[in-house]
Amino acid sequence: MLYREMGKTGEKVSILGFGCMRLPIKGSYDQIDFEKSSKLLDHALDRGINYLDTAYPYHGLGTAQGGASEVFLGEYLDESSRHDEVFLATKLPTWLLEEAGDMGRFLDEQLQRLKTDCIDFYLLHSLKEKQWFQLEDLGVLEFLDEAVSDGRIKYTGFSTHDETSFVKEVVDSYQWDMCQIQYNYLDENIQAGSEGLQYAAGKGLGVVIMEPLKGGVLADYVPQEVQAIWDDAPLRRTPAEWALRYLWDIPEINVVLSGMNTRGQLKENLETAADGLPHSLTSEELKIMEEVKQVYQGEISVECSRCGYCMPCPSGINIPQCFSYLNQAEMLEDYSEVKNQYYFMLKDTQRAGNCLECGLCEELCSQHINIREELRKVEKKMGS
């Protein structure tokens, strides 16, 4: 495993981080398969991964009660006695804060769940420009100072899906230790983008990357034209390998998170990480990546990362999956099989035609997608 320093903290973190948002489950999303997940983490830690990322709502069902991911990690690390082998990162659910006392209450609950006295990296989760001033008024920055001072957290950070200008504003507002942003070879000019990434790194912040495969789109739904480019490349790599190597080529990126839920995914990513040195891609390989970008930009219909923040839909629509089928259909000349899957795999209530256009999903969407309009496209493309 290769390691890089997490910004000005100087901590040596594995370039591949384990994202605990999509662990193996038993049935429903809030029921983590403890045995399978533990074996995955055992292998990951044995191979040198030392950065584990979770959050209060991960593996929850959209309620204010939080999710099972933190609980699982606490039990796993306690039973395996591996707390000292990892840097543990989790996040304060900023959208649930109503009064100043909520911040300490959530942090104490998370410490109990994770069975630890100190969280290594504590992030303000999914900051948005429209809520930032309210958080400042609640005293969130003073809260972070206090939590660092009393030893409940070691390093501070934030995650965001907002635009570059806002990212810069937040970076300049506090002495952060790190930040977590969405970035991949298709997202260089959206959200934080390359400009925001370089700005944060230039201020000494560690940079952690989420959605390196754009919610799996870059690995799972490869247009034939893109696959032809990969096939003609001098080195044979899977689409996921290309995407990860592209990120590790950037020296300012410290950790790339991957939500690995199978042994095969973990094995492939570990093998790819072994060669993830800065500036290791050749000019020819970078040119190939540019060709791929151009194709994708003309093929993808909806820039959905399948983060799930838009869920649950009051009407029961499975919004990310509807968009996944739409993207697949747009990439294929004959999408009859995609249409069959849309009707076979989704329940009647989960399909796009049930949209009541309430707009709640758009308020929550981390990608700023016009979801109602895109759902109308799904309904038109898939028919009735």
234-269 residue pLDDT tens: 999 999 999 999 999 999 999 999 999 999 999 999
Q: What's the mean pLDDT when you consider all of the chain?
A: 92
The per-residue pLDDT for 307 is: 84
The per-residue pLDDT for 161 is: 84
The per-residue pLDDT for 332 is: 57
Q: What is the pLDDT of residues 307-362, one digit of tens each?
A: 888 999 999 999 988 988 887 777 655 577 678 778 867 888 999 999 999 999 99
Say whether pLDDT at 303 is over 90.
Answer: no
Better-predicted residue by pLDDT, 129 or 114: 114
The per-residue pLDDT for 250 is: 98
Q: Specify whether the CB–CB gap between 114 and 74 falls below 8 A.
A: yes
Q: What is the pLDDT of residues 150-176, one digit of tens each?
A: 999 999 999 998 889 999 999 999 999
Average pLDDT over residues 211-235: 87
The per-residue pLDDT for 331 is: 65
Q: What is the pLDDT of residues 25-83, one digit of tens each?
A: 998 899 999 999 999 999 999 999 999 999 999 999 766 778 999 999 999 999 999 99
**Burial (Cβ within 10 Å: 0-12, 13-18, ≥19) of residue 347:** exposed
pTM of the model as a whole: 0.83
Going from N- to C-terminal start, the domains of the chain cover 3-282, 319-382
As a whole number of angstroms, the distance between CA 25 and CA 202 comes to 39
Q: Does the domain made of 3-282 have the CATH classification 3.20.20.100?
A: yes
